[in-house]
Amino acid sequence: EAGVTQFPSHSVIEKGQTVTLRCDPISGHDNLYWYRRVMGKEIKFLLHFVKESKQDESGMPNNRFLAERTGGTYSTLKVQPAELEDSGVYFCASSQAMGGAETQYFGPGTRLLVL
Amino acid sequence: AQSVTQPDIHITVSEGASLELRCNYSYGATPYLFWYVQSPGQGLQLLLKYFSGDTLVQGIKGFEAEFKRSQSSFNLRKPSVHWSDAAEYFCAVGAGLTGGGNKLTFGTGTQLKVEL
């Protein structure tokens, strides 16, 4: 069974540009999460999808971030325009719908550097 | 709001020595607790989790963790460390989300170095 995949693995952009990160969850997983780790800090929750619906986006930093999940399958996270403080590692995770007693499976992350 | 503290940023142990990584959490209800490991270039891999029942939890790769409610701790242990255990370890607490799912709050991580 394929795991969670993320693309690209690395991205280097200039301040003001746009970047789109993609996540493909494990097939059949209804829950999809985005997390971010800024250098030297903890991994922080950004948002949660159940199928194609956003259930909780309380962790999204501001309106420069837009997440979508087309047809309840893959998800994209767009940053527009990117700022220096957006640099970090963006993780995607997915899980089956089991309420609190679930295991989230993480992808390898996308390392974003904004210059 | 929940929080997790991993007081040790870096730990170095000799191969074959025992290991204990500390984790303290703050959460109002009975927590869901997790330990993840991240090796270079890899995603986070679940080592073990605690939801209820036996407070000593066995995980993969020979790791175990003990939930101590009185101390709000969930320390990770391994009796004999292997060089391949060198990685970054994250403790996390989960809180249920509206509509299902589980929001994880992570500690800052502990970087483990293993000396041969």
**In contact, B66 and B72? CB cutoff 8 Å:** no
The pLDDT score that the predictor gives to residue A85 is 95
Give A55-91 pLDDT, tens digit per residue.
889 999 999 999 999 888 999 999 999 999 999 999 9
Classify strands A10-13 and A110-114 as parallel, antiparallel or unpaired.
parallel
Over residues B30-40, the mean pLDDT reads: 90
Residue B14 above 80 pLDDT? Answer: yes
Contacting residues of A for B36, CB less than 8 Å apart: 106
Give B73-86 pLDDT, tens digit per residue.
999 999 999 999 99
Distance from CA of B47 to the nearest CA of A (A): 11
Lowest mean pLDDT among A45-54, B33-42, B71-80, B90-99: B90-99
- Determine, for residues A33 and B101 on separate chains, whether the beta-carbon distance falls below 8 Å: yes
- Determine, for residues B103 and A45 on separate chains, whether the beta-carbon distance falls below 8 Å: yes
Which of B3, B10, B32, B102 should we substitute to test contact with A (largest number of A Cβ atoms within 10 Å)?
A: B102
Chain B 80-99, CB below 8 Å of chain A: which residues? 90, 92, 94-99
Give B50-68 pLDDT, tens digit per residue.
988 889 999 999 999 999 9
Residue pointed to by tokens 């963790």? B65
Lowest mean pLDDT among A43-52, B56-65, B90-99: B90-99
The pLDDT score that the predictor gives to residue A24 is 97
CA distances from A40 to A13, A98, B108, B115 (A): 21, 32, 8, 24
Q: Is the dihedral of CA A112, B3, B8, B13 positive or negative?
A: negative
Nearest Cα neighbor of B76 from B28, B3, B7 is B7
Contacting residues of A for B97, CB less than 8 Å apart: 48, 55-56
Contacting residues of A for B103, CB less than 8 Å apart: 33, 45, 48, 56
**In contact, B93 and B33? CB cutoff 8 Å:** yes
Under the banding of pLDDT at 50, 70 and 90, the label for residue A101 is low
- Determine, for residues A103 and B46 on separate chains, whether the beta-carbon distance falls below 8 Å: yes
Residue A98 above 80 pLDDT? Answer: no
Of B67 and A99, more confident = B67
- Determine, for residues A56 and B101 on separate chains, whether the beta-carbon distance falls below 8 Å: yes
